[in-house]
Structure 1
Amino acid sequence: MARNATSPGLVTQRLHLIAAFLLTAGHCAFATPCQFEAQGEGRVAGIVDARSVRLDDGREIRLTGIEATASTKEALTSLLVGRDVTLRSTDDTPDRYGRQGALLFIGDSDTSVQAMLLAQGDALVSAEITDKACATALMSSEAEARRQKKGTWADPSAIKNAESPDDILAGIGRFMVVEGKVLSVRQAGAMSYLNFGRSWTRGFAATISKRTLSAFESAGMTLKSLENRRIRIRGWVEGTTGPRIDVRLLGQVELLGANEPIGVRP
């Protein structure tokens, strides 16, 4: 019986195909997060505020994915003034103030300016970026700064204790990070409440509207399952007698273990 033979040329061709596949697969597996579509380039002419810069062509750019701390504006000035940047985002539509939202990258860097600020402890993660890989990368940068007590995290009170509602209420109108144990979950009309205190009127609570609830359900999580769990909430503090944070985005909530520097987002 004659044996099937494979020509050396065909073997080489197959090896080249396999190598190309492995290179492509490796690139996909280790792709740098937050590399959204480029939405333009420019040189930073000045810093407008702690979250906005102005390019030399007059465009105003708002840094997405972060909230400012006391040191953000100074850090931005040091990092960006006079530097060439690339803007990356999923959408270049300006906001109502005419600002274009984007992640900024200096020169050919694969690391966003936002990630740099977070790693230095000069910013806090907001929850507006919904791309899972990018959001996770930003949270990891923040967690590393928190672990090393850099920047804002050098202050022990940077994370508020949900059992101290007066401390949280003192920061009304500010973006805060709060940790604590959910004692109960209640619903009143179209609003659900994650209660961290036994007093519903004075204790800290996170509010979740019915329209936001679907995001938790899509992630396979019921609010009731959060009872007796330690969680981290981030957002803008509001309220009168008792402090509240309104949860509008899934990423504002992290599930915590006993010693986790970074929580698990639903």
Structure 2
Amino acid sequence: MLHHIAAILLVADHGAFATPCQFESQGEGRVAAIVDARSVRLDDGREIRLMGIEPAATTKQALASLLAGRDVRLRGSDDTPDRYGRQGALVFIGESDNPVQAMLLAQGEALVSAEITDKDCAAALMASEAAARRQKKGSWADPSAIKNAESPDDILAGIGRFVVVEGKVLSVRQAGAMTYLNFGRSWTRGFAATISKRTLPAFESAGISLKSLENKRIRVRGWVEGNTGPRIDIRLVGQVELLGANESTGVRP
């Protein structure tokens, strides 16, 4: 009887900690070539883009050592090719339950892109990145890996690149169809994150009131644009993280 109860607990336990990121199978193949920092070509000619990450300086090298010549399984919620003909997927080596994306993040060899909106999978990828960040692994060893919102020129230097910025939101303002999270007092020079009206419902359904971010320390990630001061356009809820009171920012004053 005891053994039976233990077996039930084991099953329940396994269900409670079900491995995240186990989307529908999208087939398998052998990696024939590393195309770029987040794309590989399989021996059947398919080009696969690793979903959920943005490359760091060492990603391509790390990808080559992990995947060159390996048999992989693909999982994802949509196998429609992008405009470059690449199939987006989470990539698993052999029988591993841990996607290659999580391995790269855990080593500090990539950044979370926030494009995966499945809650559990997104949280697992964020946790892998956070562990590498705390341990200053890979790209996080560089003090400038996290930009300080109070240094807009440093952010502007990363124009056209995917960056991570931390700082305190001084004000939340709406102008037309755009909401601005302002990190600086100067409208023209200060850093701001912009959120268009069409993105607002996603924040509402996640229970996040943008106005409540005023005077809060947050981490923002995305592509740097610079018509006036440096800007990051927020299109996905996962691009914004609230920093806990005890969380060290990693930002040098």
**TM-score interval for Structure 1 and Structure 2 normalised by the shorter chain:** over 0.9
1:239 matched to 2:226 = yes
Q: Using the alignment, how far apart are the partners of 1:237 and 1:172 within structure 2?
A: 5
Displacement of 1:129 in angstroms is 0.5
Per-residue Cα deviation, 1:129-165 (whole angstroms, up to 9, x for no partner): 0111111111111111111111100000100000000
Hey, what does 1:202 align to over in structure 2?
Answer: 189
Of all paired residues, the percent bearing the same amino acid is 84
Hey, what does 2:51 align to over in structure 1?
Answer: 64
Larger radius of gyration: 1
One-letter amino acid of the counterpart of residue 56, structure 1: D
Q: Using the alignment, how far apart are the partners of 1:260 and 1:129 within structure 2?
A: 24
One-letter amino acid of the counterpart of residue 205, structure 1: A
1:112 matched to 2:99 = yes
Q: SS where residue 87 of structure 1 aligns?
A: strand
Alignment RMSD, CA only?
1.6
Q: SS where residue 257 of structure 1 aligns?
A: coil
Hey, what does 1:6 align to over in structure 2?
Answer: none
Hey, what does 1:147 align to over in structure 2?
Answer: 134
Q: Using the alignment, how far apart are the partners of 1:217 and 1:110 within structure 2?
A: 33
Hey, what does 1:7 align to over in structure 2?
Answer: none
Displacement of 1:260 in angstroms is 2.2
Q: Using the alignment, how far apart are the partners of 2:3 and 2:28 within structure 1?
A: 37
1:215 matched to 2:222 = no
1:84 matched to 2:71 = yes
Match of 1:93 among 69, 80, 87: 80
Q: Using the alignment, how far apart are the partners of 1:119 and 1:20 within structure 2?
A: 32
1:126 matched to 2:113 = yes
One-letter amino acid of the counterpart of residue 145, structure 1: A
Displacement of 1:220 in angstroms is 1.6
Per-residue Cα deviation, 1:102-152 (whole angstroms, up to 9, x for no partner): 010000111110011001110000110011111111111111111111110
Displacement of 1:18 in angstroms is 6.1
Q: TM-score, normalised by structure 1?
A: 0.90
Per-residue Cα deviation, 1:151-192 (whole angstroms, up to 9, x for no partner): 100000100000000000000000000000000011010000
Match of 1:35 among 5, 13, 22: 22
Hey, what does 1:257 align to over in structure 2?
Answer: 244
Q: Using the alignment, how far apart are the partners of 1:92 and 1:216 within structure 2?
A: 26
| Gap regions ≥5 residues in structure 1 | 1-13
Displacement of 1:230 in angstroms is 0.2
Displacement of 1:240 in angstroms is 3.0
Q: Using the alignment, how far apart are the partners of 2:137 and 2:9 within structure 1?
A: 39
Displacement of 1:28 in angstroms is 1.3
Aligned residues: 249
Q: Using the alignment, how far apart are the partners of 1:15 and 1:116 within structure 2?
A: 38
Displacement of 1:19 in angstroms is 6.3
Q: TM-score, normalised by structure 2?
A: 0.94
